[in-house]
Structure formats: structure tokens, C-alpha cells
Amino acid sequence: MSRAGAPARPETPVVPGRGARGGRTARPAGLRRRWLVAGFAAVLVAAVAGIAFGPVSLPPGSVAVELLNLVPGVHLHSGLNEREIAIVTELRLPRMVLGLLVGGMLALAGGCYQGVFRNPLADPHLLGVAAGAGLAVTAVIVVRGVTGADVTVGLPVTVPLAAFVGALGAVLLTYLLGAAGGRDRSPATLILAGVAVSAFLAAGQTYLLQRNAESIQEVYSWMLGRLATAGWHDVLVVLPYAVFTTAVVLMHRRELDVLALGDDEATSLGLHPQRSRLLLAAAASLATAAAVSVSGLIGFVGVIVPHVVRMLAGASYRAILPLSVLFGGAFLTLTDLAARTVAAPAEIPIGVVTALLGGPFFAIVLRTTRRVAE
């Protein structure tokens, strides 16, 4: 295509101080290996710390050895006694794994929503997830209190199941309401629908609580989030959703970069923006609902983690999403460690700790990265 001889157009001067070929060394955005390594390192540190420390502290080295022993075929001597091994494998390990899963899913869902709605403040609770789960759980706890039974009138409706159904139901309602605008609706329509649905469901929850004041404490302890009752059962409940939704979101993460250009340009680049957005938002909602069902409402993770990752590792969703899974999991595991050690033997609700730790941490990162950028 190039014509032989001299360039056919007048040369515009090359930017001073930048070699003409300098850009060849520029690499496309994406997941840098060093950040991936840092993410796995964070998970590893959080995992060992989350298991080693607590009311009974164990040497981290021995804990690491004991974790290696879980790998089939590995038999190493960790120096821990029977009771300590039981603490590691039966109490703290499932709780730590649950923390990794829930934190990873909340952060992934938050990052995903932020891309889908092109709104940096979007988080899993935006579409009514919190309000829906809150109302459903409140209803179950209230009915249980009234009937005095451990299960609701003949139906084995547990709190996690209610939270899951309530969260998904609210998101579905938000979609239906948001879709009422027709084909020309903008992302803002869906967010407004989420606000309306949230307000409506929250009002219902308040009414129920008002009428059944004796349930308030139990409802609030769920709403503030906890990993306390965790056992392998909770892990097994969440695991399939975590694997499925993470796979779906990560496979489509390049589309979020294209969506960042706006719907018109995404369309002219061959994408189907509405379809991509619906698929990604549905996957993120499913991840959130699964997380909420076992952990209650843990705020801040979905907003803070993706933002910190964005500031550190770049604005491409190809980096933000996988790293959010890793750093979100590590963050929640460490937060849980703080929640159960700071006021030991009592436990602080983990949702309170995420907000208390997350807020200042976010402010520090915001300040330092801005200084670096300047």
C-alpha cells in the first residue's frame, strides 16, 4: 500500500523528547505478569495469616506446611499437634476459603457493574441486591420468630436461600422496570429502576421490622455481614456459582473495554452492547446473590477493591477483573482476621470492618496515586 520513494505527505515534527519509534516499546493494556504474581502473593499471605492468627495463634510457617499437606501425596511434618491441626483444617480453613470466594465475587461483581454501567460508583447493591436480600431475610426471620419454629411453616426456607432468592428477585424486578423504557433506554434507566426498587423493598423491610421489633437484632447481625457460621457446607454452596460467574465475566472482559467507548461506537465496532451488558450484569448479579446468601451484606468490597486495582494496574478491565478476584479475596480474608481478633473473644461484624478499614485505605491510595500521577 505504501508508495515507493519519499513519504507522500508532509512530515509533521515528531514530539520532542520522544523517539519516533518509542511507541513500539509500548505494550497494550492487559494483565501484567507482575500484578498477577502480586495478586496470588496477596492471596497466599492472606490465607496463611487468616489461618495462623486468631484466639489461638499458630506459627505461620507450620500453618503453611500444614496447608501443603492438603496436597495429595505430600506428607510433611508441621510440628502442630492434633488439636491445632483440627483448628487449621476444620475451623479456619473453610472460613478462609469462604472469605476468598465471597471477597473475590463481590469485588468481581463490583468491577463488572462499573464497566457495564460506565459508572465508577456502581456496586453490587445498586440494582436492589441488598434491599431484596434484606427484605427476604427479614421476612424469614420474622416468620420464624412468630411461629417459633426453626423452619418456616413446613418449608425449609433458610436464611441463605431467602437471601439468594430475594437478591435475584430484586435484580429481576429492576431489569423488568428498567426495560420498560423500550429499546432506546440508557444505562441510567436501569440504575434509576434499581433505586426505585431498592426504596420500595427497603420500605417493606422497615415495616416488617417495625411490626416485629424482637427480630431486629437477628436481622441486623445478618445485614452487617459475617463469615462466622462458615463451614465446608457454605463453601460448597457458593463454589459452583463462584466458578461459573467468574468464568463468564472473565471470558467477556474485553467487551467491557469496548463498552467504555459508548454504545454507538461499540455497535460500530461490531458488538451488541445491550446483549453484552445484560449478560455481564446477569453474571455479576448471580455472583452477588450467591455471596450475599452465605455472608450477609458486606459493603465496600465491590467499590473499593476494583478502584484500588484500577489505580495500581491500569484502567483496562482485562486487568481489573481478574485482579479484583484475587485482591478482593485477600482483602476480605484479612478483614475477617481483623474482625475476629481486634475485640477477641467477641467478633465485630465484618461489614463494619470493611467500611472502617476500607474508607481510610481508599483515601490513602487515592492521595498517593494522585501524587505519583502528578
Partner 1 sequence: MTAPTGSTAPTGSTAPTGSSAPTGSSAPTGSTVPAGVAVEVADLGVTLGGARILTGVSLSVRTGEWVTVIGPNGAGKSTLLRAVGGLLPASTGSVSLFGTPIARLRRRDRARTVATVPQSPVVPAGMAVLDYVLLGRTPYVPPLGRESAADLAVAYDVLDRLDLTGFAARPLATLSGGERQRVFLARALAQGAPLLLLDEPTSALDIGHQQEVLELVDQLRADHGLTVLATMHDLSVAGEYADRMVLVAAGAVVADGPPRAVLTDDLLGTHYRARVRVIEGEHGPLVVPVRTRRPAS
Residue ranges that bind partner 1, judged by CB under 8 A? 1-3, 7-9, 11-12, 14-15, 18-24, 26-30, 184, 251-252, 254, 257-258, 260-262, 264-265, 267-272, 310, 314-316, 318
Residue nearer to partner 1 on the CB measure, 151 or 315: 315
CB atoms within 10 A of CB 364: 11
**CB-CB contact of 306 with 320 (8 Å):** yes
Phi, psi for residue 155 in degrees, rounded to 5: -100, 130
Residue with cell 427484605: 135
Residue with cell 465485630: 348
Residue nearer to partner 1 on the CB measure, 167 or 313: 313
Residue nearer to partner 1 on the CB measure, 117 or 164: 117
Q: Which residues contact 245 (CB under 8 A, 6 or more apart)?
A: 105, 108, 109, 283, 284, 286, 287, 290
Residue nearer to partner 1 on the CB measure, 24 or 75: 24
Phi, psi for residue 131 in degrees, rounded to 5: -65, -40
Rounded CA-CA distance 103/110 in Å is 11
Q: Closest distance between partner 1 and the C-beta of residue 55, in Å?
A: 44
Q: Closest distance between partner 1 and the C-beta of residue 302, in Å?
A: 19
Rounded CA-CA distance 353/224 in Å is 10
CB atoms within 10 A of CB 319: 23
Rounded CA-CA distance 6/13 in Å is 16
Q: Closest distance between partner 1 and the C-beta of residue 320, in Å?
A: 10
Residue nearer to partner 1 on the CB measure, 213 or 373: 373
Q: Closest distance between partner 1 and the C-beta of residue 330, in Å?
A: 23
CB atoms within 10 A of CB 202: 16
Q: Closest distance between partner 1 and the C-beta of residue 365, in Å?
A: 15
Residue nearer to partner 1 on the CB measure, 8 or 346: 8
Q: Closest distance between partner 1 and the C-beta of residue 293, in Å?
A: 28
Residue nearer to partner 1 on the CB measure, 7 or 345: 7
Rounded CA-CA distance 112/118 in Å is 10
Q: Closest distance between partner 1 and the C-beta of residue 373, in Å?
A: 9
Q: Closest distance between partner 1 and the C-beta of residue 263, in Å?
A: 9
In the chain, the DSSP E strands lie at none
User: How far does the chain reach from its first CA to its final CA, in angstroms?
Assistant: 42
Residue with cell 451488541: 272
Residue nearer to partner 1 on the CB measure, 26 or 71: 26
Give the total residue count for the chain: 374
